[in-house]
């Protein structure tokens, strides 16, 4: 009886509550988590912008930030689905390490001829990632072994294989430049640069590095297209909802949201454009994020994952093949772990035995900071991404500030705990 609802609206008691302002308030409170999270990210960024005397938002640092944290966010996309489905995956860091080692061995050590081509190697590695995900998912889905245990085993197994592959403690490299571009490359400027302020030339006739302002026009154009598309689709969805007579969020709120989002995006685009353009890995990430937002919000398979995490038995009795769905969720996680491993290796330029060590915890933390429920059934892709960036900005900002790594961990732990306490508090209040 604890779930008994308040009396029905027809019942008389509820009628004295006005409908109008309630819609606005409920739209705000319903999205409090989402807005709160983004506001938190902005506050944290401003804080570090201040404490690092403006270093955080420097174009070169923004590029670094993205390149350092992209693998966490890529893996967080998969982890979000795993956690929403009601499971956990502790093996992602080890799988990433193992895939990095495999890629390095294939490209540098093993005589594979044309198969050591970075593109071929990457595809093979993603397939191996899928197989690893399938191997773990099989036991979880069809034999109902708890995911915590299966992936804990996976964590030990793949870290071990990673180290064995690399022959004990040694690292393998250097990796080809074309492979490293995945992490440290920038998209080519097909349109050509636009110089707004010519660089200062000193007396010796040399240009001073960092002076002047030249924009990477391809980045600018891509950024503008993305922002316009964001505003256009937001507006179109809103119109469509209104036409069908369904309550949308209040117009001013929508405008503010769109303006703030666009301004933020344009600012970042400008910063990237004034350095070397859009990092390749940011483009990869952007595509993946859009894809996962679409899958979770609009596709039947996404809906089924939420239903399974919310009540697996009810989902099964609604005709959802929960075993196969579980397997798919882990295969997806395996592929994204592999991609994460490739990104790590590409950034380091070599494979090291400790690659990705402990990153599973950062990935899981990002998902929980992003508002996912440990019980399954609740969580948003954007939340996990923002959660990942919050972790990344804190890492980056504290490193620039010169905070000791030990204390960085303490702070990250407190932020994770705080975010979840905020969630639980909100839920109880509702």
Partner 1 sequence: MASTILEMRDITKTFPGVKALSNVNLSVEEGEIHAVVGENGAGKSTLMKVLSGVYPSGTYEGQIIFRGQECHFKGIHDSEHIGIVIIHQELALVPMLSIAENIFLGNEHATYGVIDWDANETRTAALLKKVGLKEDPKTLITNIGVGKQQLVEIAKALSKEVKLLILDEPTASLSEKDSQALLDLLLEFKRQGMTSILISHKLNEVNRVADKVTVIRDGRTIETLPRKDISEDRIITSMVGRSLDDRYPPREPQIGEVIFEVKDWSVYHPIHAERQVIKNVNLNVRKGEVVGIAGLMGAGRTEFAMSLFGRSYGRHITGEVLLRGRPLDLSSVSRAVENRIAYVTEDRKTYGLNLIDHIKHNVTLANLSGVSSRGVIDDMREMSVANDYRKKTNIRASSVYQLTGNLSGGNQQKVVLSKWLFADPEVLILDEPTRGIDVGAKYEIYTIIARLAAEGKAIIVISSEMPELLGITDRIYVMNEGRIVGEMAASDASQEKIMRAIVRGEGKKAS
The site for partner 1 (CB under 8 A) is made up of: 1-14, 16-17, 22, 240-241, 244, 246-247, 298-301, 303-304, 306-307, 310-311, 313-321, 373, 377-378, 430
Partners of residue 213 on adjacent β-strands: 197
Query: Residues 6 or more apart from 309 whose CB is under 8 A from it?
Result: 83, 84, 85, 86, 375, 376, 377, 378
Give the integer Cα–Cα distance in Å for 183 and 279. Answer: 8
Q: How far is the CB of 61 from partner 1 (least distance, A)?
A: 39
Residue 320 or 342 having the CB closest to partner 1: 320
58 or 304: whose CB is closer to partner 1?
Answer: 304
> Please, which residue, 113 or 245, has the CB nearer to partner 1?
245
CB closer to partner 1 out of 377 and 388: 377
Nearer to partner 1 among residue 138 and residue 306 (C-beta)? 306
Nearest approach, Cβ of residue 380 and partner 1 (Å): 13
Q: What are phi and psi of 197, to 5 degrees?
A: -125, 120
What is the smallest separation between the CB atom of 77 and partner 1, expressed in angstroms?
A: 18
Nearest distance in Å: CB 417, partner 1: 23
Minimum distance of partner 1 from residue 424's CB (angstroms): 14
Class of residue 174 by CB neighbours under 10 A (exposed 0-12, middle 13-18, buried 19+): middle
Length of the chain measured in residues = 430
β-strand partners of 247: none
- Closest distance to partner 1 from the beta carbon of 300 (Å): 4
Contact 109, 350 (CB under 8 A): no
Which residues, including other chains, have CB under 8 Å from residue 72's CB and lie 6 or more apart?
340, 359, 362, 363, 366, 388, 391, 392
In the complex with partner 1, the residue whose CB is nearer, 62 or 83, is 83
64/321 with CB nearer partner 1: 321
Among candidate residues 372, 405, 411, the one with its CA nearest the CA of residue 44: 411
The alpha-carbon radius of gyration of the chain (Å, integer) is 24
The CA-to-CA distance between both ends of the chain, in Å, stands at 18
d(CA 143, CA 167): 34
For partner 1, the closer CB: 305 or 346: 305
CB of 289 to partner 1, least distance (A): 18
Report the distance separating Cα 430 and Cα 425, nearest Å.
Answer: 9
* Shortest distance (Å) from residue 395 CB to partner 1: 32
């Amino acid at each position: 009886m604890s779930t008994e609802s308040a009396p029905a609206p027809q019942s008389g008691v509820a009628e004295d509550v006005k409908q109008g302002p309630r819609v606005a308030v409920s739209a705000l409170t319903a999205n409090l988590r989402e807005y709160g999270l983004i506001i938190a990210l902005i506050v944290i960024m401003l804080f570090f912008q201040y404490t690092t005397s403006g270093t955080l938002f420097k174009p070169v640092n923004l590029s670094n930030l993205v390149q350092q944290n992209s693998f966490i966010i890529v893996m967080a996309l998969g982890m979000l689905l795993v956690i929403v489905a009601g499971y956990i995956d502790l093996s992602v860091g080890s799988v990433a390490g193992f895939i990095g080692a495999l890629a390095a061995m294939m490209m540098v050590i093993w005589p594979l001829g044309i198969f050591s081509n970075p593109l071929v190697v990457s595809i093979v590695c993603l397939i191996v990632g899928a197989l690893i995900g399938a191997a773990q998912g099989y036991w979880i889905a069809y034999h109902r072994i708890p995911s915590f245990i299966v992936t804990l085993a996976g964590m030990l197994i793949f870290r071990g294989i990673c180290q064995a592959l690399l022959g004990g403690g040694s690292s393998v490299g250097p990796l080809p430049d074309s492979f490293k571009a995945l992490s440290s490359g920038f998209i080519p400027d097909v349109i050509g640069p636009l110089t707004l302020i010519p660089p200062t030339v000193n007396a010796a006739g040399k240009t001073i590095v960092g002076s002047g302002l030249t924009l990477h026009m391809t980045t600018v154009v891509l950024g503008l297209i993305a922002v316009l598309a964001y505003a256009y689709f937001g507006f179109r969805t809103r119109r469509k909802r209104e036409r069908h007579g369904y309550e949308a969020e209040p117009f001013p709120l929508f405008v503010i949201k769109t303006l703030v989002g666009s301004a933020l995006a344009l600012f970042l685009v400008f910063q990237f454009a004034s350095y070397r353009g859009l990092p390749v890995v940011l483009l990869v990430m952007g595509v993946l994020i859009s894809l996962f937002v679409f899958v979770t919000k609009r596709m039947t398979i996404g809906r089924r994952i939420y239903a399974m995490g919310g009540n697996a038995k009810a989902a099964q009795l609604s005709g959802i093949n929960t075993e196969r769905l579980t397997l798919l969720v882990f295969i997806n996680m395996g592929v994204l772990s592999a991609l994460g491993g490739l990104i790590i290796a590409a950034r380091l330029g070599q494979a090291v035995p400790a690659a990705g060590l402990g990153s599973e915890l950062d990935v899981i933390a990002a998902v929980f900071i992003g508002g996912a429920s440990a019980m399954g059934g609740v969580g948003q892709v954007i939340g996990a991404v923002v959660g990942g960036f919050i972790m990344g900005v804190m890492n980056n900002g504290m490193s620039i500030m010169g905070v000791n790594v030990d204390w960085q961990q303490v702070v990250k732990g407190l932020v994770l705990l705080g975010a979840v306490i905020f969630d639980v508090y909100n839920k109880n209040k509702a």
